[in-house]
Amino acid sequence: MTSTALSPQPPASWRRYFGFSTDAKVIGIQYIVVSFFFFLVAGLLAMIIRGELLTPAADLVDRTVYNGLYTMHGTIMLFLFIFPVLNGLNNLLIPTMIGAPDMAFPRLNTAAFWMVPVFGLLLIASFFVPSGPASAGWWSYPPVSLQNPLGHLISGEFLWVLAVALSGISSILGAVNFVTTILRMRAPGMGFFRMPVFCWTALAAQSLQLIGLPALTGGAVMLLMDLTLGTSFYRPEGGGDPVLYQHFFWFYSHPAVYVIILPVFGIFSELFPVYSRKPLFGYVYVALASFIIVGLGLIVWVHHMFPSGVAQWMRNLFMVTTMLIAVPTGVKVFAWLGTMWRGKIRLTTPMLFCIGGLFNFVFAGITGVMLATVPVDIHVSNTYFVVGHFHYVIYGAAVMGIFAAIYHWFPKFTGRMPYEGLGKLHFVLTFLGANLNFLPMHPLGLMGMPRRVSSYDPEFAFWNVLASLGAFLLGVSIIPFLLNMISSWVRGPRATHNPWNAIGLEWLLPSPPPEDNFGEHVPTVISPPYGYGKNEPLVEHQAEIERALTLAEATR
Amino acid sequence: MTTTPIPPATPNAAHGDGHHASHNLTGFIIFLCSESVIFLAFFSGYAILRRAALNWLPPGVEGLEWRMPLLNTIVLVSSSFMMVAAEHYKEKGKLWLFRGFWLLTMAMGAYFLYGQAVEWGGLKFGLTSGTFGATFYLLTGFHGLHVATGVLLMGLMLVKSFIPGNYNGGEEGVKATSLFWHFVDVIWIILFVLLYVWRT
């Protein structure tokens, strides 16, 4: 009777990827593909930035153009690459991991996705307005962001605020959907403490979106009014307070880093057990630590403003809360190391990306605690030390975790195996490139090189040349990735339902899964996740389900 | 009493025809929690700017007239009770009484908006009159937008009540609208205290 749900479906038309599909798996792939388009755009901007910084003189681009380049690089990477790619993974993984047929609100899901290309094009269009793109940095601090010398209403900054507001609406719609789905649509028997850690971290991250994002939206509305209607919320000459904007901005944008890194913790927690053949060490603590990070993450934002003229008690308080964050994250790092300890480690591409990502994350964590310390922070604030720390978190840890997830779940959602050779080449280039690019930024920052400058003192030249070479290596590293994705999707070897021998509901579905996943036959979960080496079934009738899947694969 | 209830822990059975209602209400409550943070941001922004201001009131402005807004407050707060009555009659299946009280709630909401417009029309300061003017119009305007949305939602639910059998249970739009209305109401009370009651 399960044969109807488990037999491979006739291949659906590729055209569904170009329309308003409501299937979470189609939307997930749409999110990921679109986000990688913007990744290439913002990556190209990074190449130009690093090209400019090869020499101390400002010789490649004009200074004002340079301001636009780093502003758009940061904005596009965050709002059009990282968030959408993670929402793509959420769409693919949450319903299949909890055994739901789709998201709770499929049409809302479609609407949230299609806003992404719209505000993406808005941002790119800002390169072509008379005043040029926004150039106040990705944080858009007033009073710099309120300068509008040409006086046009439709300025780059105007389009920037509009795009950020749209991105916020899209993310809120997505967050409502993900949280409702996780809370209400889990398979029978899957209590919260039988839920995969990825779902825990997604729930934590999306809760942060719901709490934090409206503050940024509120702040952005006031910025837009200052910019277009002549109000003075942030204009000191009219009684306003520019630091107020910084509070609104960082109240969301610091937790935003946890929105990014929490799902990556989820990916690590899923993948280390699979490739070490051991249960996740300290599952309950790893799951709960996500919510401790949410709670603490909401009360650390002032550490971005230590030099901005905040009261001394605020500096002390937020220094302590920021350092406390290291505790729950440390719990997680220990849990992953404990998982690998004496495991049967398989160094596949996803596992390599996880280990590399974990290495970079620990490094970023150490510089993070340094930055939390008020005296250190005041010294290195607004220098390349901050840039280096941030890129270790985002590229070194988060993007590498995302690559791990893509290689790991690629066979599930495309039905094809990615090539290991190209994958390992991609890993080596990424790991070397990221470290060569971002490590030199730390000595640069300690020496005092400020961020966001197109020319610098010749004494900084050595480390800058190294960083630029690393950046170009990162640029090259994306070529084997794209080759791998395209060619293995077109003609890669067929994937079985469980090529990595992993445990989880999604691996009890055919590859690729049918549109409604398990349909009417959602299995009942009878044991905790990550039962590696325990030889107990995850769900009722597991043997029959797997036999039917294998049979269907043999006859296709 | 002999029918053993199917445990609600089988959500996969609930994805069929029209049983999304419970998801809808969950999703709407989550959205409302998130929406309240925008107001929290505006409130804290207002408090910070006001406490830091040297001259909070722009020249020529004595302060805000509070009598008309107080009347508005009374109307808005009582409208929430009318709404509770409407829901009560819906539960009892008395659809015409539901419609009557529901319409009364709508009318009180519309009166609130009218009062707000009259107040705005008589003010001697504008959006650009320092942070005092800017925060005043931002807070009342953003709240007024929510009141207008609430009235529109109520109108939609009123129209839907004429679809035969639509409100025989399972329809959660009314519950969501009423939650939204109480939310808008509570926000107004905080706003009233901040804008009209708080004296420096």
Which tens digit of pLDDT belongs to each residue from A198-254?
999 999 999 999 999 999 999 999 999 999 999 999 998 888 999 999 999 999 999
Compare CB distances from B12 to A187, A212, A225 and report the shortest one's residue.
Answer: A187
B111 and B147 in contact (C-beta within 8 Å)? no
List residues bridging with A383 in a β-sheet. Answer: A450
Q: Is A171 helix (H, G, I), strand (E, B) or coil?
A: helix
Residue B6 has pLDDT above 70, yes or no: no
Question: What pLDDT is stored for residue A284 in this prediction?
Answer: 97
Region for residue A402 given its phi and psi (left: phi exceeds 0; alpha: psi -120 to 50; beta: otherwise)? alpha
Q: How far is the C-alpha of A315 from the C-alpha of A435, rounded, in Å? A: 31
Would you tell me how many other CB atoms lie within 10 Å of the CB of residue A535?
Answer: 6
Q: Is A416 helix (H, G, I), strand (E, B) or coil?
A: strand
Query: Per residue in A4-62, pLDDT tens?
Result: 444 455 556 778 888 899 999 999 999 999 999 999 999 999 999 999 999 999 999 99
Band of the pLDDT at B10, cuts 50, 70, 90? very low
B52 near A CB under 8 A: yes
The answer to whether position B9 is within a domain reads no
Question: What pLDDT is stored for residue B11 in this prediction?
Answer: 41
Nearest CA in chain B to A95: B12
Question: What pLDDT is stored for residue B54 in this prediction?
Answer: 86
Q: Which of A404, A271, A387 lies closest to A339, judged by CA?
A: A271
Q: Do B130 and A239 touch (CB under 8 A)?
A: yes
Q: Do A219 and B53 touch (CB under 8 A)?
A: no
The answer to whether position B58 is within a domain reads yes
Q: How far is the C-alpha of A189 from the C-alpha of A293, rounded, in Å? A: 27
A109 near B CB under 8 A: no
What letter represents residue A458's amino acid? P
Residue A481 has pLDDT above 60, yes or no: yes
List residues bridging with A494 in a β-sheet. Answer: A416
Question: What pLDDT is stored for residue A4 in this prediction?
Answer: 45
- Name A135's Cβ contacts closer than 8 Å, sequence gap at least 6: A64, A67, A68, A71, A156
Percent of chain A with pLDDT over 90: 92
What stretch of H or E contains A250?
A: helix A242-276
Sign of CA dihedral B164, B169, B173, B177: positive
B128 near A CB under 8 A: yes
The answer to whether position B60 is within a domain reads yes
Question: What pLDDT is stored for residue B19 in this prediction?
Answer: 45
More confident residue, A152 or A443: A443
First and final C-alpha spacing in chain B: 63
The answer to whether position B14 is within a domain reads no
B6 near A CB under 8 A: no
The domain limits of chain A are 21-195
Question: What pLDDT is stored for residue A221 in this prediction?
Answer: 94
Nearest CA-CA distance, residue B104 and chain A, Å: 32
Residue A510 sits at φ, ψ, to 5 deg, of -65, 160
The answer to whether position B186 is within a domain reads yes
**Mean per-residue pLDDT of chain A:** 94
Residues found in chain A: 556
Nearest CA in chain B to A244: B45
Residue A556 has pLDDT above 70, yes or no: yes
Compare CB distances from B12 to A219, A230, A522 and report the shortest one's residue.
Answer: A522
The two tokens of residue A349 are 């591409």
Residues 61-100, chain A, touching B (beta carbon < 8 A): 99-100
SS (H, E, C) chain B: CCCCCCCCCCHHHHHCCCCCHHHHHHHHHHHHHHHHHHHHHHHHHHHHHHHHCCCCCCCCCCCCCCHHHHHHHHHHHHHHHHHHHHHHHHHCCCHHHHHHHHHHHHHHHHHHHHHHHHHHHCCCCCCCCHHHHHHHHHHHHHHHHHHHHHHHHHHHHHHHCCCCCCCCCCCCHHHHHHHHHHHHHHHHHHHHHHHHHCCC
Question: What pLDDT is stored for residue A378 in this prediction?
Answer: 94
A232 vs B contacts (CB less than 8 Å): 128, 130-131, 134
Q: Do A187 and B135 touch (CB under 8 A)?
A: no
Residue B71 has pLDDT above 50, yes or no: yes
Question: What pLDDT is stored for residue A446 in this prediction?
Answer: 96
A377 and A306 in contact (C-beta within 8 Å)? yes
Determine the structural domain holding residue B43 and report its residue range.
21-197
**Is the ipTM value over 0.85, yes or no?**
yes
Question: What pLDDT is stored for residue A15 in this prediction?
Answer: 81
Residue A137 sits at φ, ψ, to 5 deg, of 85, 165
Residue B87 has pLDDT above 80, yes or no: yes
Residue A512 has pLDDT above 70, yes or no: yes
Query: Per residue in A468-479, pLDDT tens?
Result: 999 999 999 999
Band of the pLDDT at B21, cuts 50, 70, 90? low
Q: How far is the C-alpha of A111 from the C-alpha of A22, rounded, in Å? A: 9
Q: How far is the C-alpha of A67 from the C-alpha of A547, rounded, in Å? A: 59
Q: How far is CA A264 from CA A386, A442, B10, in A?
A: 21, 24, 29
Q: Is A278 helix (H, G, I), strand (E, B) or coil?
A: coil
Classify domain A21-195 at the CATH topology level.
Cytochrome C Oxidase; Chain A (1.20.210)
Query: Per residue in A390-436, pLDDT tens?
Result: 999 999 999 999 999 999 999 999 999 999 999 999 999 999 999 99
Query: CATH number for the domain including B145?
Result: 1.20.120.80
Question: What pLDDT is stored for residue A372 in this prediction?
Answer: 96
Query: Per residue in A172-205, pLDDT tens?
Result: 999 999 999 999 999 999 999 999 999 999 999 9
Cα angle A392, A395, A400 (rounded to 5 degrees) comes to 115
Q: How far is the C-alpha of B176 from the C-alpha of B154, rounded, in Å? A: 10
Question: What pLDDT is stored for residue A13 in this prediction?
Answer: 75
- Number of folded domains in chain B? 1
Residue A170 has pLDDT above 80, yes or no: yes
User: Which of B37, B44, B61 should one mutate to test binding to chain A, selecting the residue with the greatest count of A CBs within 10 A?
Assistant: B37
The answer to whether position B8 is within a domain reads no
Percent of chain B with pLDDT over 90: 66
B143 vs A contacts (CB less than 8 Å): none
Q: Do A244 and B45 touch (CB under 8 A)?
A: yes
More confident residue, B96 or B171: B96
Of A331-335, A462-466, B49-53, the one with minimum mean pLDDT is B49-53
